[in-house]
Amino acid sequence: MEIQLQELIDQIKKDGVEAAQSEADAILAAAKAEAESIIADAKQQADKLISDAKSETQRMVKSGEDAILQAGRNLLLSFRESIARELRIILNQKVDAVYASEHLTALIVKAIESWAEKSDTENLTVILNTEDLKALENAVLADLKDKIQKGITLKASDSFDGGFRIAKNGEDAFYDYSQEAVVDMLSKYLSPKVAQILKEA
């Protein structure tokens, strides 16, 4: 009887150890699976963070490059505009100097002579501002009276500062040699050349 009891105790112990071992193995397997899942999730999140960081870095670099390029374009445009303004100021000063000197009389005389040589010109009207008209009326008419037979009319208009305009045969349209028109024309001619020089520099 004692032997049977001992066998029963040994069997219970064995069964208990095996059950405990089986339960321990199941817990260990579950813990291992959960650990692997946590590691996989962590790796996935880390990969996403790295990918997002790379994308953000690339976006920031591209944005920075674009900003630098735009700033460069803006600086170049500003510089060109500044050069164009300076060029216009210089042209205005030069044209003003010519129109304020005795050269204006020579210019007007030469322009009238050139127009008068055309066969379809019967009379010319030279329009100047009042101040220039008073100063130049006698000189212009004296220089021209022996050179052309066709009618010349000098007329005052204060719609422009310096220079002159010429209308032929009483037409309303006129050819504009005013200071502003000449500066505009020279600016339009020189600005592309300045832009080309800046582009090549």
Instruction: Say yes or no to pLDDT of 153 above 80.
Output: no
Report, as an integer, the average pLDDT of 151-172.
80
List pLDDT tens digits, range 60-83. 999 989 999 899 888 888 888 888
Query: With contact defined as beta carbons under 8 Å apart, do 157 and 128 qualify?
Result: yes
Would you kindly state where each structural domain of the chain is located, as residue ranges? 102-200
Reduced to 3 states (helix: H, G, I; strand: E, B; else coil), residue 126 is: strand
Where is pLDDT greater, at 90 or 168? 90
Taking alpha carbons only, the member of 106, 177, 169 closest to residue 143 is 106
Which range, of 67-71, 94-98, 191-195, averages the lowest pLDDT? 191-195
* 81/18 Cα distance (integer angstroms): 92
**Which residue spans within the chain are E strands per DSSP?**
123-128, 151-156, 163-168, 175-178
- What is the CATH topology of the domain spanning 102-200? hypothetical protein PF0899 fold (3.30.2320)
CA–CA distance from 35 to each of 29, 30, 128 (Å)? 10, 8, 98
pLDDT given for residue 187 in this prediction: 83
pLDDT given for residue 70 in this prediction: 92
